[in-house]
Amino acid sequence: MNVMDAKIISTQYGLETYLDVVKSVDVRDLHYPTETALFYEITVGIEYFLLKKERYYDSRKNYFRIRMDSDFSSVTLVETKMESLFAVKNEAERDTTKELVGEWLLKTDAFRQVINELIDQKKIENVQTEGDIQVVLGTIRFLEKLLEIKTEDILNTNVERDLEYAH
């Protein structure tokens, strides 16, 4: 890890310091299109240090979702109901956090390594039916698309509240 690979954003609660280390990126809740929810989605957690006055630091992990429609033509960021990376932030801080995701996180070695490990896991998954094969192939394609997201895609999207799909 190189200290230059860190990212710091200022919020009303202190300085959020993000490091490009694999253990700080957590991905889970991989969703594929169904009849009721026609999109791919992954929940991403990022651990960071909140530097506050009168305290050295407080380690936290907060989450957000990256959603793509079933043909991978649009990207949306979605707030999680709990431990949201975007919660309790004012509009300017939310914009800065969106920049953090688009300009920094998606380009970090840590994020790329975690997604590539997921792709490798999916490739060796034991599938039994044609339907399962299609789900796995679609999920692999979604994960590969995550590695291709451009900064502009993130900066131009809205951050939506999680209303229609809950885990």
Examine residue 24 and state whether it is found in any structural domain, yes or no.
yes
Question: pLDDT tens, 92-140?
Answer: 999 999 999 999 999 999 999 999 999 999 999 988 888 899 999 999 9
**Rounded to whole angstroms, what are the CA distances from 146 to 43, 129, 152?**
12, 26, 13
Examine residue 133 and state whether it is found in any structural domain, yes or no.
yes
Examine residue 56 and state whether it is found in any structural domain, yes or no.
yes
- Which structural domain range is residue 12 located in? 3-160
Strands 75-79, 159-160: pairing kind: parallel
Residue 153 one-letter amino acid: D
Examine residue 144 and state whether it is found in any structural domain, yes or no.
yes
Examine residue 167 and state whether it is found in any structural domain, yes or no.
no
Examine residue 110 and state whether it is found in any structural domain, yes or no.
yes
Examine residue 75 and state whether it is found in any structural domain, yes or no.
yes
Residues recorded for the chain? 167
Q: For the chain, what is the domain count?
A: 1
**Residue 162: pLDDT above 80?**
no
Tokens standing for 163? 């209303």
Examine residue 166 and state whether it is found in any structural domain, yes or no.
no
pTM: 0.90
Average pLDDT of the residues in 45-50: 95
